[in-house]
Structure 1
Amino acid sequence: MSKRDKYHETVKQALIREGWAITHDPYMFQTDPKLATDLGAERLLAAERGYERIAVEIKSFLRSSQVVDLEEAIGQYALYQLFLRQSDPARQLYLAVPRHALDNILSREVGRVAIEGLKVNVIVYSLADEEPLLWKPQ
């Protein structure tokens, strides 16, 4: 299993503040070799609608090349999406990215085309404490 992203706790605490219960840390797939997203969470939508369930892959975008960060993130997202559809199709996959990635690579052509074309659900987190998450589902 890979090591946790630098901002794992930042995203986890932001989800908890927004009413999510962390159910998996990490969310494991039954694969060979073992794969895992960083978190699994759920929250009650309404009594008649049941629970909303998500899996979250957290990325920090700290390399000198945000294009390389984007390529890695998109590759992981696509792979995890395939396994999630098989094992837990009701759970939505999200890619958590910091605000600086949204303001930079994800606002440029390469990022916009990748996110929109591949229908990547995005959560934008802030490195400042207590700021709410920005949800960008596809």
Structure 2
Amino acid sequence: MPAKDLFHDAVRTALEKDGWTITNENLFIKIDKIEFYIDLAAERVLAAEKAGQKIAVEVKSFIGISVLTEFHAALGQFLNYRSALRKQQPERVLYLAVSFDIYDDFFTSSFIQEVIAEHKLRLLIFDPNIEKIVLWKS
């Protein structure tokens, strides 16, 4: 069973406060012989639904030694998970959840913004202290 991310509970609560219903906290997808939990390397995914919209959320804390290295891993996971979701659950939209502090310190740089645009990353920016969604970026 995949491990829980540091901010998993904060993101879950923030989604619920925003009116989402959590439908699955460990979204399992199997493509050929490859199994995805959309939950690798001690990360956690939430699947949620609101007004007919379905999302999957990959929670990342970016607390490792290098934020850039963590970003590389998160980007790779995001791309793989999005491809898997397109095959198994095309109605579900994938978001990468990051704390406001990490977003403000790292994700707002022009180069990272270019990478986000190039790869069409969708971000859910949250405040872990008040367990609230600050911004959705599509």
**Is this a same-fold pair by TM over 0.5?**
yes
4+ residue stretches of structure 1 with deviation over 4 A? Answer: none
Tell me if structure 2 keeps the 8 A contact 1:14–1:133: no
Alpha-carbon displacement from aligned partner over 1:88-134 (angstroms, at most 9, x marks no partner): 11110000011122112211133212211100000001122143331
Number of aligned positions between the proteins: 131
Provide the residue aligned with 1:42 in structure 2. Answer: 49
RCO higher in 1 or 2 (8 Å CA, sep ≥ 6)?
2
Provide the residue aligned with 2:3 in structure 1. Answer: 3
Distance in 2 (CA, whole Å) between partners of 1:70 and 1:57 is 13
Provide the residue aligned with 2:25 in structure 1. Answer: 25
- What TM-score comes out, normalization by structure 2 length? 0.89
Q: What residue ranges of structure 2 are gaps of 5+ in the alignment?
A: 39-44
Alpha-carbon displacement from aligned partner over 1:60-87 (angstroms, at most 9, x marks no partner): 0111211011101100000001100000
Q: What residue ranges of structure 1 are gaps of 5+ in the alignment?
A: 45-50
Distance in 2 (CA, whole Å) between partners of 1:83 and 1:132 is 26
Aligned CA distance change for structure 1 residues 80 and 89 (closer, same or farther; 3 Å): same
Aligned sequence identity (%): 31
Provide the residue aligned with 1:102 in structure 2. Answer: 103
- What TM-score comes out, normalization by structure 1 length? 0.89
